[in-house]
Homo-oligomer: A and B are copies of this chain.
Amino acid sequence: MGDEIKQVVIMRTDLKMGRGKMAAQAGHAFVMGAERVRLTHPDWHADWWDGGQKKIVLKVSGLGSLRGLKMDVIRAGLPYAEVSDAGHTQLEPGTVTCMSVGPAPENAVDRVTGGLPLL
């Protein structure tokens, strides 16, 4: 289990986003994060792809928590992708809605995100 490769998205729940908007924003984070790791860690990407592309979506209550988490992710040296909404619908342009961590080894991801609840 510990060697599995996993991708996590952490979603803000303090914005006026319905479930469809959240799913689309998570999609941005999943796609951009996976594309980065495909280029920077092709071995992780291949293991993740062949192993069923494990994905999970967690939540934070606001921008402060997301920024704090991002600091921890950077300190841990994990790949991430932050999503800013274009603002065509529902949100102000440039609003940070969520971020991805990984795909990366599960142990390392959990060390940073393990305390967060499921969305």
Contacts and interface: CB of A to CB of B under 8 A. Distances in A.
| Total copies of this chain within the assembly | 2
Report which residue of A21, A24, A34 has the largest number of chain B beta carbons within 10 angstroms of its beta carbon: A24
Interface string A86-119: 1000000000000000000000000000000011
Interface size class of A (residues with CB under 8 A): 20 to 34
6 contacts: A9-B27, A20-B119, A26-B26, A27-B30, A27-B55, A32-B53
Nearest to A20: B119
A19 interface: yes
A70 to B, nearest CB: 19
A52 interface: yes
Contact of A57 (B7, B24, B52): B24
